[in-house]
Structure 1
Amino acid sequence: MFTRTLSKRLSAAVAAGTGALVLLTACGGGGDSMTGHEKPTSSAATAPATAQPGASFNDADVMFAQMMIPHHQQAVEMADLAATRAADPEVKELATKIKAAQDPEIETLRGWLKEWGKPAGDMQGMDHGMPGMMSAEDMKKLEDAKGAAFDEQFARLMIAHHEGAIQMAKTEQAQGTNPEAKELAKTIETAQQGEIDQMRKIIDRL
């Protein structure tokens, strides 16, 4: 009788121990599962840091936008002169094309700077040292020229101006981080190189 009672107690203890082991294992598994859930939570917590608007640009992007605005503004001023001074139809057409392309780009660049919380470029304060910018004397000479003399002078000055813009665009593509700014820089480089090639041909036939 005593042996049977002892045997039953031992069996009950083993069963209890087994149950405790199962419960402990289950809790351990739950801990691993919770650790697995912690990873997405951690990723979600760090995601906004990479998605913040301020993280999508760097100093090179800002400089590109600030410098390209006055650079474009001067090209538009030069293009405006062609309407009443140019004699060559291709020069007039090219000037219209330049103005039509660069006016919207100026607004795009201003929009980015506003979004980034940075001041826009200013022609009076930023024209010195920018590649390809015309001096006040160059602009006065262009303004005073008419007919064939204007056509040749416009083409030569705009070639130098475009070459400066291409230099700035290449710097942006190499050093910038904002995808849209780098894409615009690539567009500027391609479009203005094509216009340089066209103006060289115009000069050759004038």
Structure 2
Amino acid sequence: MGRQRTLTLVIAGAVVLGAGGAAVAARSGGDRSAAAPRPSAGSVAPERVVLPGKPGDPAVVTDSDKVRPPDAPTYNAIDTTFVQMMIVHHGQAIEMAKLAPERAGDARLRALAARIGAAQAPEMRWMQGWLRDRRLPAGAGHDHGTMPGMQSDADMAALAGLDGAAFDRKFVAMMTAHHRGAIRMAGDVLGGGSDQQLRELANEMAVEQGSEIRRMAQLAIR
């Protein structure tokens, strides 16, 4: 009887120890679902932030914890070269357009020149801001005379000395070549650039200037 009582106590002790071991295992990771952290009732909600939209699009409001910085720069050398050169390219187109109000003989051409200036001046300012935001220089030793469609100083001086129908003919010839060059440059950034907003601008630019080329052809100025 004494030996049976002793055996019973040993078995009972083993059961208790087994249960205790299971509890320790749970606390040390054996049951990870039981140990998973839970947010406290007093946790602070993420702040709301405003993300600027693309050109022409509204801004977006979202939680700060959903905003992630880019893993790498969003632009490359093709983007940078395009912006640096296109600023100068636009500047010449605007200079040509400014001559039209006083010198063009065709009212339709004066209206088209005003449209060209109104479209390219904001684009040029946007590109200047693009460089500033990235702390990039406005120019990097590019030979602007080799840009597609860029008109020579002699042609610019000749245009400034004309008026009436003679001005109209030369303006259409020069601006058509200028626009075609810009479309070629836009194709470069669309094919190899990596900045999404810049690609969208280049696409819009190519479409707009293609439309203006067709409009100048429709004027049938001789």
Per-residue deviation, 1:136: 0.9
- Larger mean Cα displacement after TM superposition, 106-115 or 136-145: 136-145
2:8 aligned residue: 7
Q: Residues 155, 205 of structure 1: CA spacing in aligned structure 2 closer, same or farther, 3 A cutoff?
A: closer
SS at match of 2:149: coil
Work out whether residues 169 and 221 of structure 2, in 8 Å CA contact, stay in contact via their aligned partners in 1: no
Do residues 56 (structure 1) and 74 (structure 2) align? yes
Relative contact order (alpha carbons < 8 A, sep ≥ 6): 1 or 2 greater? 1
Per-residue deviation, 1:22: 4.7
Gaps of 5+ in 1: 35-43
1:41 aligned residue: none
Per-residue deviation, 1:49: 4.8
Per-residue deviation, 1:125: 5.6
| 2:216 alignment partner AA | M
2:138 aligned residue: 120
| 2:32 alignment partner AA | G
Higher share in helix? 1
Do residues 72 (structure 1) and 90 (structure 2) align? yes
- Larger mean Cα displacement after TM superposition, 19-28 or 77-86: 19-28
Mapping 1:57-206, distance limit 5 Å: 57-121=75-139, 126-202=143-219, 204-206=220-222
The ranges of structure 1 where at least 4 consecutive aligned residues each deviate by more than 4 angstroms after the TM superposition are 31-34
Per-residue deviation, 1:21: 3.3
Q: Residues 70, 32 of structure 1: CA spacing in aligned structure 2 closer, same or farther, 3 A cutoff?
A: farther
The number of equivalent residue pairs is: 190
Identity %: 38
SS at match of 2:150: coil
- Larger mean Cα displacement after TM superposition, 54-63 or 64-73: 54-63
SS at match of 1:172: helix
| 2:108 alignment partner AA | E
2:30 aligned residue: 28
* In structure 1, distance between residues paired with 2:109 and 2:165: 10
Per-residue deviation, 1:9: 1.6
TM-score normalized by structure 1? 0.83
SS at match of 2:179: helix
TM-score normalized by structure 2? 0.77
| 1:28 alignment partner AA | G
Q: Residues 60, 125 of structure 1: CA spacing in aligned structure 2 closer, same or farther, 3 A cutoff?
A: closer
* In structure 2, distance between residues paired with 1:32 and 1:176: 51
1:39 aligned residue: none
Query: What per-residue deviation string (whole Å, max 9, x for no partner) do you get for residues 1-55 of structure 1?
Result: 2222222222221331243135325513439977xxxxxxxxx8xx4353xxx72
Work out whether residues 70 and 121 of structure 1, in 8 Å CA contact, stay in contact via their aligned partners in 2: no
Query: What per-residue deviation string (whole Å, max 9, x for no partner) do you get for residues 175-197 of structure 1?
Result: 11212111110110010000000
* In structure 2, distance between residues paired with 1:58 and 1:32: 49
Q: Residues 64, 33 of structure 1: CA spacing in aligned structure 2 closer, same or farther, 3 A cutoff?
A: farther
* In structure 2, distance between residues paired with 1:29 and 1:157: 78
- Larger mean Cα displacement after TM superposition, 151-160 or 5-14: 5-14
Q: Residues 126, 110 of structure 1: CA spacing in aligned structure 2 closer, same or farther, 3 A cutoff?
A: farther
Gaps of 5+ in 2: 37-64
Per-residue deviation, 1:68: 0.7
